[in-house]
Amino acid sequence: MSRWSVRVDPAWSLEAWRTAARLALRHAVAPDQLDWLPGSETSLLDAPSLTSVEDGRAPPAEPQIHVPKSFVELAAICLCHRDPQRMSLLYRMLWRITHGERSLLSNPADADVLRAMALSQAVRRDTHKMKAFVRFREVPGEQDAFIAWFEPDHQIVDRVAPFFARRFAGMRWAILTPYRSVHWDGQQLSFGPGGHQSDAPMEDAREELWRTYYANIFNPARLNTRMMQQEMPARYWKHLPEASLLPQLVRDAGDRVQEMHDREAQAPRRRIPQAIAAPEPAAETTPATLDALREAAAACRRCPLWEPATQTVFGEGPPNASIMLVGEQPGDSEDLSGHPFVGPAGQLLDRALRELGIERSTLYLTNAVKHFRFERRGKRRIHSKPQMTHINACRPWLMGEIENVRPQVIVCLGASAATAVFGAGFNLMKNHGRWHVLDDGTRAFATVHPSWVLRQTGDAARDEAYRLLKDDLQHLIEVQRTR
Ligand code: URA
Ligand code: SF4
């Protein structure tokens, strides 16, 4: 059996990995015949390079490789991890997917899938930290030029850089990390080698200005002390010029949330004018604790559904739940009680969860649309499906919930929820029970809605529909076990 080696350069590049993986697949090089190595520096100990596999022979026909989009997304995230096995893990998964195990990703009990999910989770966490804790300092003697030092756990600079480019589009900045640097000149991003902490000015004359800046842009609604304590190890704190202001800001946060809420639509004031471009507007105008969101949603008039309904039914559950269930819209009982999933559909869901041994109280339950849409028939109010316009109008609330709860897993119950989370065109019957990875790395799948189960006519059909729902929800047992 021949052995080959292949180098992926840079090691976190999806393109580089994909090119190599395609070449290997095309030549039917099995996973255990191939050593995956990071970077471009070859060593005498390397097995012959895969690039020489074609030497002297006619290349086989280009195979048609169709892999699920969710696998490609997962691969892009996992490649940023520092685990030396990640590239071979991904190739083994690709091999299995293209050799008869097309729905591999729907099996979260599989050891390879589990490992890949764990890697992606770690990279997501690291990405989140970098977005939250990078602090720029002005370069002495340069106008509007800023530099930051950051030590990510994984190789995420390329992945996160576009976020900073959008957020700080109007200034020139660089972020240095031990393995890679990135520079934004106001027009484009360029990447270079890693740096040293001493390359980034730690103290400068503008320290006071920075403190004022942070005290002003510090978004109090985003302040989450639990998260800060957990996710802000001393090694981040030490680089933060505003650290000394934090206790005060924490104390003031309550008042300032209210104040922000009061002037929601108004652009926030800034003390450093031209240096910082406006952050994405959605981030700034969305109230950002769950309580603030709930309160704001109670007065929502973004679509006409609020008027005939009794009240907004917002999501409920632990604010740090690892699993979020998204339904369609409140029904009659939910509309009257103000709580999600308390009527017949909720009871069926409860039964399924109970039978699977999943505690409902550990889940965050919400709906794609927060007001009951119905038609009157005599005294009765009959459920009427929300339209795309309602789902779109209501989506910011759902996104706000996702952003705050930051669940590891989202379950969409029914087509409306799936549309709200995955976008229009999601085919529920074709894709139910399959794992997907959202842009922010959150894992998600859709299944049928408990009301759909209840609507089936005949015991046999209902039993079968119920079994389908329960089978899909089995994923959650695995999620809870591996937490
Ligand atoms: N159906 C839903 O989608 N949500 C509820 O809260 C109740 C029924
Ligand atoms: Fe607002 Fe959603 Fe209610 Fe429409 S359904 S009014 S968007 S909360």
User: CB atoms < 10 A from the CB of 107, how many?
Assistant: 15
Amino acid at 69: K
Structure tokens at 273: 């004018």
Lowest mean pLDDT among 17-31, 125-139, 220-234, 411-425: 220-234
pTM, two decimal places: 0.49
How would you class 300 by CB atoms within 10 Å of its CB: exposed for 0-12, middle for 13-18, buried for 19 or more? Answer: middle
- Domain coordinates in residue numbering, the chain: 4-126, 134-199, 206-254, 290-481
Beta-carbon contacts of residue 115 (< 8 Å; ≥ 6 apart): 89
Instruction: Please state, in angstroms and rounded to a whole number, the distance separating the CA atoms of residues 84 and 443.
Output: 23
Three-class secondary structure of residue 78 per DSSP: helix
Spatial contact of 4 and 47, defined as CB atoms under 8 Å apart: yes
More confident residue, 4 or 456: 456
- Using a 10 angstrom Cβ sphere, with 0-12 exposed, 13-18 middle and 19 or more buried, the burial of residue 165 is middle
Which residues lie across from 170 on neighbouring strands?
none
Pairing, β 409-413 against β 443-447: parallel
3-state secondary structure of 326: strand
Partners of 6 in the β-ladder: 36
Choice between 103 and 206, residue whose per-residue pLDDT is larger: 103
Q: Give the tokens for residue 421.
A: 């989370």
Q: What is the pLDDT of residues 163-172, one digit of tens each?
A: 888 877 777 8
Judge whether residue 205 has pLDDT over 60. Answer: no
Q: What does the alpha-carbon distance between residue 297 and residue 382 come to, in Å, rounded to a whole number? A: 24
Q: How many residues does the chain have?
A: 483
In which residue are the tokens 């869901």 written? 349
Distance 459 CA to ligand 1 centre (A): 22
- Angstrom CA distances, 141 to 138, 196, 205, 208, 209, stand at 9, 20, 10, 16, 15
- Å from CA of 414 to ligand 1 middle: 10
Q: 327 CA distance to ligand 1 centroid (A)?
A: 5
pLDDT on residue 232? 42
More confident call, 246 vs 48? 48
CATH code, residues 290-481: 3.40.470.10
Structure tokens at 206: 């503008």
Q: Looking at residue 171, what is its pLDDT?
A: 77
Q: Which atom of ligand 1 is nearest the CA belonging to 365? A: 6
Q: Which of 369, 391, 395, 398 to mutate to test the pocket of ligand 2 (most atoms within 8 A of CB)?
A: 369
Taking a C-beta distance cutoff of 8 angstroms, is the pair 8, 36 a contact?
yes
In ligand 1, which atom is closest to the CA atom of 327?
A: 3
Q: With b meaning 16 or more CB within 10 Å and e meaning fewer, what string describes 458-478?
A: eeeeeeebbebbbebbebbeb
